[in-house]
Amino acid sequence: MADQDPVFQIQRIYLKESSLEQPNSPAILLEQEAPTVDIQLGVEGSPVADGIFEVTVTATVHTKIKDKTVFLVEAKQAGIFEIRNLDEEQMGQIMGIACPQIVYPYLRGNVADLVQRGGFPPVHLTEINFQAMFEQQRAQAAAAAAPAESLPQ
């Protein structure tokens, strides 16, 4: 019976990818106007092996003055997790809520460090409620599926 106990273990957390672009430097650095900042986040999960999954949290930070880019940072922080003996509902919650909550603080630190190393004040990504984000994505998926199901056959 012990083989059927739920298993959830962190195997590894790592920076999968990062980039910093400053396409308009050095001229843009002389601008006095405050830049606008656009931050996009994403979460992806995929199987790696039997009972082993990778969850990746991606952040894109794009700062602009007028229509010119000051800097663009893209970073992917990932974790490898052993997850076994969970039903589909629990599996979705672990992959969509628990794993991103573990990975995200590492992403926040790496983005702030990368921006600062680029010569800018660090950008601190805000805390994210991954449960609310997960529930919103499920609601959107259900709404998108509903019209297709209601079409006459």
Output the pLDDT for position 147: 65
Is residue 11 situated within a structural domain? yes
* Residue 12 scores a pLDDT above 60: yes
Residue 63: both structure tokens together: 């700062």
Tell me if 96 sits within 8 A of 137, measured CB to CB: yes
Per-residue pLDDT reduced to its tens digit, 95-144 = 999 999 999 999 999 999 999 999 988 888 999 999 998 888 888 888 88
Which residue segment(s) compose the domain that 11 sits in? 2-140
Is residue 85 situated within a structural domain? yes
Is residue 152 situated within a structural domain? no
Is residue 149 situated within a structural domain? no
Is residue 55 situated within a structural domain? yes
* Residue 2 scores a pLDDT above 70: no
* Total domains, the chain: 1
Left if phi > 0, otherwise alpha if psi is -120 to 50, otherwise beta: which for 5?
beta
Q: What is the pTM of this model?
A: 0.85
Is residue 134 situated within a structural domain? yes
Is residue 153 situated within a structural domain? no
Residue 44: both structure tokens together: 């992806």
Output the pLDDT for position 27: 92
CATH number of the domain to which 106 belongs: 3.10.420.10
Is residue 145 situated within a structural domain? no
Left if phi > 0, otherwise alpha if psi is -120 to 50, otherwise beta: which for 72?
beta
Distance CA 36, CA 44 (A): 27
